[in-house]
Structure 1
Amino acid sequence: MVENRPILTFFTHAILIAGVLFLCFPVWMALVASTHGPGALSQSPIPLWFGDQAWENYSQLLAGGLPEAGGVPIGMMMFNSLIMALVITFGKIFISILSAYAIVYFRFPFRMGFFWMIFVTLMLPVEVRILPTFDVVVKMGLLNTYAGLTVPLIASATATFLFRQFFLTVPDELVEAARIDRAGPIRFFKDILLPLSRTNIAALFIILFIYGWNQYLWPLLITTDESLYTVVMGIQRMVNSGESLPVWHYIMGTAVLAMIPPVLVVVLMQKLFVKGLVESEK
């Protein structure tokens, strides 16, 4: 039986509330600053409550575009980021789960050798292989295309490793039962492995979506067409606006808008995400 200690409960809740306030304060300041005019953050003291410019600021960001961000509306940048994040996420999951399925359930020459070759690529992130990857993309004519933005980032050794480890925990009795029922490899994969992998897929979906959404270096190299800019690139261009002063109210508004899709994904898939990380028995 757990003892009820009011003083301990009070202090633990106070610490939790203080931690939440500490983490949420920058988000609150970004939201407040996005509703004021351009000179609000230059005042002393800085305003801590909403202003009256929210509609004008967000309308300009979503539809009008800013010269500091290349004149492209933030709505278009968010659409590009969404396409990039979704293609990378679904591509990584699709390729990784098929690769893990082949490595675990098929017997072919050099099977483990191929697995370790995939696993070793964990030591070679995009930043290390970015020059040869860029050269390949240029020779294939994929500059300033969605394919160039996404295809080089699709392969994932981490997801392949995680799916392989999960498939190894699937009881052999399920495989034998599928064989008795004359289920072929495709049916076994579709009707048994995919439903069992649902929580793992959900957990990886959140991680990979945020990874794809926050990509900065690769889109910066692969795109010169302003219509393909991502929202992270837009924030960077507004911050580094050259000799002119940064438009902080627009920068904060763009940061708030950029947080919405990842937050929605985490909130909507939170239960599956937690189950995928902590569930040990399927």
Structure 2
Amino acid sequence: MYKTKPLDHLILILGCLLMVTPVVVAFMTSTHTAAEIHSNGLMLSWGGNFEETYTNALTKKGGFTGEVTGLTMLMNSFILGIGFALGKIVLSMLAAYAIVYFRFRFATFAFWVIFTTLLLPLEVRIVPSYQVMSNLGLLNSYTGLIVPLLASATGTFYFRQFFMSVPDELLEAARIDGAGPFRFFVDILIPISRTMMAAIFIIMFVYGWNQYLWPMLMTTDESFYTLMRGIKSILQVWIGSQIPDYNEAFALAVLAMLPPVLLVVVFQSWFIKGLTESDK
């Protein structure tokens, strides 16, 4: 058994403070009025405007059309995050299943072609993807937001490695029992892949939740705005001599952090197990 050292704890505490302090500052600042924030900047003191700020951030209609609310943007972010996660898991599992078990010609080459797409950031293919969605009339739609980005080299890689570690005895036993490819996939591979699916779900949900550039290009209708766009739009609205609602922008920023953080905290054991588990 290893003994913990004070220096180890000190490093962990400093790391936690480094990560948590900006969140605390954002939350405390959000409890002040917009005028106070404009005058004094970021603050670490409690402002006493918590209930009003967060109620307005979630329910007050605003934006350029005066119709969008924080709850609408929150729902759009959830749809985008969950759509990304579920869609990427399904496509990645099917692609990995075909590469590992169907033994078709050039399967390894096909995998490496998929894997090399990790070297291509979203910005490289964003213009042709936008053009395709525009031609199909899918701008300002959930389909246009989600479908073009569902292909995932990361998910395919993880599931391929996982399927390759599955004992061949399971496949032989399934064949003896008369199970075809579909039944083997549904009855055997999916159940033993639950922890890996949970890990990939968390990664892809956070990826979809934090999307900013793609939703900005795909949506001009405010009813499809996500929280990431909403925060930016609040800071861009200046009416006469009034200042932006800095407090509501900080409130939305804090709310935008909560779902990914809660997801990781609640399912952290599944996340770690899914990425490190080797026993089937």
Tell whether the structures are fold-level matches, with TM greater than 0.5. Answer: yes
Q: Which runs of structure 2 are paired with 1:105-184 in the superposition (5 Å)?
A: 105-184=101-180
TM-score where L is the length of structure 1:
0.91
CA RMSD of aligned residues (A): 2.1
Matches of 2:13 and 2:103, distance apart in 1: 54
Q: Which runs of structure 2 are paired with 1:187-226 in the superposition (5 Å)?
A: 187-226=183-222
Aligned to 2:92: 96
Q: Which amino acid aligns with 1:251?
A: A
Which of 80, 83, 96 is equivalent to 1:87? 83
Q: Report if the CA contact (8 A) 1:61-1:73 is conserved.
A: yes
Counterparts in 2 of 1:150 and 1:3: CA distance versus 1, 3 Å: closer
Matched, 1:258 2:256: yes
Q: Report if the CA contact (8 A) 2:63-2:233 is conserved.
A: no
CA shift for structure 1 position 47: 4.2
Question: Which stretch of the first structure deviates more once superposed, 13-22 or 217-226?
Answer: 13-22
Question: Which stretch of the first structure deviates more once superposed, 60-69 or 32-41?
Answer: 60-69
Counterparts in 2 of 1:246 and 1:149: CA distance versus 1, 3 Å: same
Matched, 1:281 2:265: no
Give the SS at the match of 1:151. helix
Matched, 1:239 2:235: yes
Give the SS at the match of 1:127. helix
CA shift for structure 1 position 12: 3.2
Q: Which consecutive residues of structure 2, in runs of 5 or more, have no partner in the other structure?
A: none
Matched, 1:16 2:12: yes
Q: Which amino acid aligns with 2:246?
A: W
TM-score where L is the length of structure 2:
0.91
Q: Which amino acid aligns with 1:255?
A: A
Question: Which stretch of the first structure deviates more once superposed, 72-81 or 183-192?
Answer: 183-192
Counterparts in 2 of 1:145 and 1:44: CA distance versus 1, 3 Å: closer
Counterparts in 2 of 1:12 and 1:117: CA distance versus 1, 3 Å: closer
Q: Which amino acid aligns with 1:212?
A: G
Q: Report if the CA contact (8 A) 1:149-1:218 is conserved.
A: yes
Counterparts in 2 of 1:3 and 1:67: CA distance versus 1, 3 Å: closer
Counterparts in 2 of 1:20 and 1:123: CA distance versus 1, 3 Å: closer
CA shift for structure 1 position 116: 3.0
Question: Which stretch of the first structure deviates more once superposed, 32-41 or 105-114?
Answer: 105-114
Give the SS at the match of 2:68. coil
Q: Report if the CA contact (8 A) 1:216-1:232 is conserved.
A: yes
CA shift for structure 1 position 143: 0.6
Matched, 1:49 2:45: yes
CA shift for structure 1 position 171: 1.1
Q: Which amino acid aligns with 1:269?
A: F
Q: Percent identity?
A: 51
Give the SS at the match of 1:17. helix
CA shift for structure 1 position 43: 4.9
Question: Which stretch of the first structure deviates more once superposed, 50-59 or 264-273?
Answer: 50-59
Q: Which amino acid aligns with 1:152?
A: P
Q: Which consecutive residues of structure 1, in runs of 5 or more, have no partner in the other structure?
A: none
Give the SS at the match of 2:139. coil
Matched, 1:28 2:24: yes
Q: Report if the CA contact (8 A) 1:122-1:157 is conserved.
A: yes
CA shift for structure 1 position 68: 6.9
Q: Report if the CA contact (8 A) 1:35-1:57 is conserved.
A: yes
Q: Which amino acid aligns with 1:280?
A: S
